[in-house]
């Protein structure tokens, strides 16, 4: 197989796209009277410029992201949650009904949903019973995938979620690097939960392999699930096209302002991450002792996957006390499993007390 450049891998219609140009991007210099975008001259809400369109390039937010995480501003695009960025990658690279995507199984369910919405076929690479990757099998699969071509349709995207949702385990940077080298398309490394892990980020791989895209979100450790901020870090060629394809005003000014504010709270965020990691250990140790628990899977994330004798009975007992957890018992390889998010100390205590009472009943 020949090796493909990023441009080769993109859909031809995206490569030749003339992107929408926002009015405010078309001038240089200072302006004080804005009669270019058909906005209302009145801001009925106050003096916060809610009558004006927000910055489509998120310049101030990107500067703050760059200061906080050390990524260069030109290597970043910000989405309305990382879910928007996942969808964007399908739209940029995958020709509907022709190209395919590869994903681990089990993994984050939204990859399949966005593949289905975009009419993209899926191939799975099953994880082992302990949710690790069988590297030999993975490489054989990659070799088969390399037989496809851009002309006839090929696997364009490979999603690696690390730490993985719902299993909680991470894949080593060496494994990710070698899979990304073997996979001929774009490898997307979803690091939504990396803040809770001690593992190395795949961002360092982008310099060596321009077909790697890393996704981050402010929905988890940064406490902004409601605000919807996702970040993609990639080679500038991919970032440029992601800007062309995203909705011009995909983030409101309010979202951008709140994200900048949250990113100023790094110390507070770091101390809550440390606390959640301690709580994860405490909750996991307690769970190990229940007679109705079969297995507590090790986790590098802010949740724990647990296999129960009777997951639905546990689910109902928790629900009776107003506690909702995530049923994962029908997901591949996760039979008997519920996924428990680590909450506040008080929430975790109530969860454990409810499980203590359940233990007395079984
Ligand atoms: C692995 C993974 N990626 C992405 C997301 C979506 O994040 P966002 O809230 O930024 O859309 C989630 C949300 O649960 C997730 O678990």
Q: What is the pLDDT of residues 52-107, one digit of tens each?
A: 999 999 999 999 999 999 999 999 999 999 999 999 999 999 999 999 999 999 99
For residue 79, the ligand 1 atom closest to its alpha carbon is 10
Contacts (Cβ under 8 Å, ≥6 apart) of 300: 163, 168, 169, 170, 193, 196, 197, 198, 199
Contacts (Cβ under 8 Å, ≥6 apart) of 135: 175, 178
In this structure, the strands spanning 121-126 and 100-105 are parallel
For residue 83, the ligand 1 atom closest to its alpha carbon is 11
Residue listed under structure tokens 């681990």: 104
Per the CB < 8 A criterion, the answer to whether 193 and 301 are in contact is yes
Q: How buried is residue 122: exposed, middle or buried, by Cβ count under 10 Å (0-12/13-18/19+)?
A: middle
CA–centroid distance, 229 to ligand 1, in Å, is 10
80 in contact with ligand 1, CB cutoff 6 A: no
230 in contact with ligand 1, CB cutoff 6 A: yes
Residue listed under structure tokens 């297995």: 295
231 in contact with ligand 1, CB cutoff 6 A: no
pLDDT band at 2 (very low <50, low <70, confident <90, very high): low
89 in contact with ligand 1, CB cutoff 6 A: no
| Mean pLDDT score, 315-339 | 98
pLDDT of res. 28: 81
Instruction: List domains and CATH numbers for the chain.
Output: 6-20+52-263 (3.40.640.10), 267-361 (3.90.1150.10)
For residue 107, the ligand 1 atom closest to its alpha carbon is 1
pLDDT of res. 3: 81
pLDDT over 70 percentage in the chain: 99
**Average pLDDT over the chain, rounded to an integer:** 96
Q: Is the pLDDT of residue 25 over 90?
A: no
88 in contact with ligand 1, CB cutoff 6 A: no
190 in contact with ligand 1, CB cutoff 6 A: yes
CA–centroid distance, 203 to ligand 1, in Å, is 18
C-alpha distances (whole Å) from 238 to each of 93, 172, 244, 331 are 10, 24, 10, 32
pLDDT tens digits, one per residue of 200-220? 999 999 999 999 999 999 999
CA–centroid distance, 276 to ligand 1, in Å, is 18
CA–centroid distance, 216 to ligand 1, in Å, is 8
For residue 86, the ligand 1 atom closest to its alpha carbon is 4
Cβ neighbour number for residue 300 with a 10 Å cutoff: 20
For residue 193, the ligand 1 atom closest to its alpha carbon is 1
87 in contact with ligand 1, CB cutoff 6 A: no
158 in contact with ligand 1, CB cutoff 6 A: no
What is the residue with the minimal CA distance to atom 12 of ligand 1? 192
State the angle between helix axes of 311-320 and 345-361 in degrees (0 to 180), rounded to the nearest 10.
120
pLDDT of res. 1: 54
82 in contact with ligand 1, CB cutoff 6 A: yes
CA–centroid distance, 83 to ligand 1, in Å, is 6
- pTM for this one? 0.97
CA–centroid distance, 214 to ligand 1, in Å, is 13
31 in contact with ligand 1, CB cutoff 6 A: no
For residue 84, the ligand 1 atom closest to its alpha carbon is 11
Contacts (Cβ under 8 Å, ≥6 apart) of 118: 87, 90, 91, 94, 96
225 in contact with ligand 1, CB cutoff 6 A: yes
| Mean pLDDT score, 114-132 | 97
Q: Is the pLDDT of residue 322 over 80?
A: yes
* Tokens found for residue 138: 């993975």
């Amino acid at each position: 197989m020949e090796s493909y450049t990023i441009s080769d891998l993109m859909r031809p219609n995206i490569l030749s796209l003339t992107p929408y140009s926002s009015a405010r991007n078309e001038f240089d210099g200072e302006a004080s009277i804005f009669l270019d975008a058909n906005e209302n001259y009145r801001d009925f809400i106050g003096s916060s410029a809610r009558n004006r369109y927000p910055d489509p390039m998120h310049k101030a937010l990107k500067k703050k992201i760059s200061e906080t995480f050390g990524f260069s501003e030109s290597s970043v695009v910000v989405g309305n949650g990382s879910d928007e960025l996942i969808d964007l990658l399908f739209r940029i690279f995958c020709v509907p009904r022709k190209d395919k995507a590869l994903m681990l199984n089990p993994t984050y369910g939204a990859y399949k949903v966005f593949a289905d919405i975009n009419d993209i076929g899926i191939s799975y690479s099953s994880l082992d019973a302990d949710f690790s990757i069988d590297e030999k099998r993975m490489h054989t699969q990659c070799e088969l995938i390399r037989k496809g071509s851009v002309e006839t349709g090929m696997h364009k995207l490979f999603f690696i979620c690390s730490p993985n949702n719902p299993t909680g385990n991470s894949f080593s940077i060496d494994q990710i690097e070698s899979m990304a080298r073997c996979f001929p398309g774009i490898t997307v490394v979803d690091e939504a939960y990396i803040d809770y892990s001690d593992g190395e980020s795949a961002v360092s791989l982008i310099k060596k392999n321009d077909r790697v895209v890393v996704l981050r979100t402010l929905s988890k450790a940064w406490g902004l699930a409601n605000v919807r901020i996702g970040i993609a870090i990639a080679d500038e060629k991919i970032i440029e096209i992601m800007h062309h394809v995203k909705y011009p005003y995909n983030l409101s000014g309010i979202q951008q302002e709140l994200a900048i504010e949250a990113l100023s709270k790094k110390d507070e965020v770091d101390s809550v991450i440390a606390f959640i990691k301690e709580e994860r250990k405490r909750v996991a140790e307690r769970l190990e002792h229940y007679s109705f628990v079969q297995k507590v899977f090790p986790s590098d994330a802010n949740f724990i996957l647990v296999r129960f004798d009777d997951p639905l009975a546990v689910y109902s007992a928790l629900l009776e006390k107003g506690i909702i957890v995530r049923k994962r018992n029908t997901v591949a390889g996760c039979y008997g499993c519920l996924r428990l998010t680590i909450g506040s100390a008080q929430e975790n205590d109530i969860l454990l007390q409810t499980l203590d009472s359940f233990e007395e009943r079984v």
